[in-house]
Structure 1
Amino acid sequence: SVTKVYDKIAAHPNFRFYGNVEIGKDIAHAELVDHYHMIIYAVGAQTDKRLDIPGEDLAGSHAATEFVAWYNGHPDYHDFQFDLTQEAAAVVGVGNVAMDVCRILARSHNELYQTDIADYALEALKNSNIKTIYVLGRRGPAQAAYTNTEIKELGEMEEATIVVSPAEAELDPLSQQALDASNDRAMQRNVEIVKNYTQHQAGRKKRTIVMRFLVSPVEIIGTDKVEAIKIVKNKLVQKGDGSLRPVATEETEILPVGLVFRSVGYRGVPVEGVPFREDWGTIPNEEGRIIHLDSQEQVIGEYVVGWIKRGPSGIIGTNKPDSQATVNELLEDLA
Structure 2
Amino acid sequence: MRRLNLPRRPRRLRRTAAIRNMVAETRLTPADLIQPYFVIDGEGAPQEIASLPGQRRLPIRELVRECEQLHRLGVPGVALFPSIEPVLKDAAGSEALNPETLVLRAIRAVKQAVPELAIVTDIALDPYTDHGHDGIFNAAGTDMDNDGTVEILRQMSLLCAEAGADFVAPSDMMDGRIEAIRESLDDAGLTETAIMAYSAKFASAFYGPFRDAVGSASVAGTNLLGKHTYQLNPANRREALLETELDELEAADVLMVKPAGAYLDIIRDVRNNTHLPLAAYQVSGEYAQLHAAARLGWLDLERCRDESLLAIKRAGADMILTYFAAEVAGCFSR
For the superposition of Structure 1 and Structure 2, which TM-score range results when normalised by the shorter chain?
under 0.3
Q: What's the TM-score, normalizing by structure 1? A: 0.28
Find the structure with the greater CA-based Rg.
1
Task: Identify the structure with bigger relative contact order (alpha carbons < 8 Å, sequence gap 6+).
Answer: 1
More helix by share: 2
More strand by share: 1
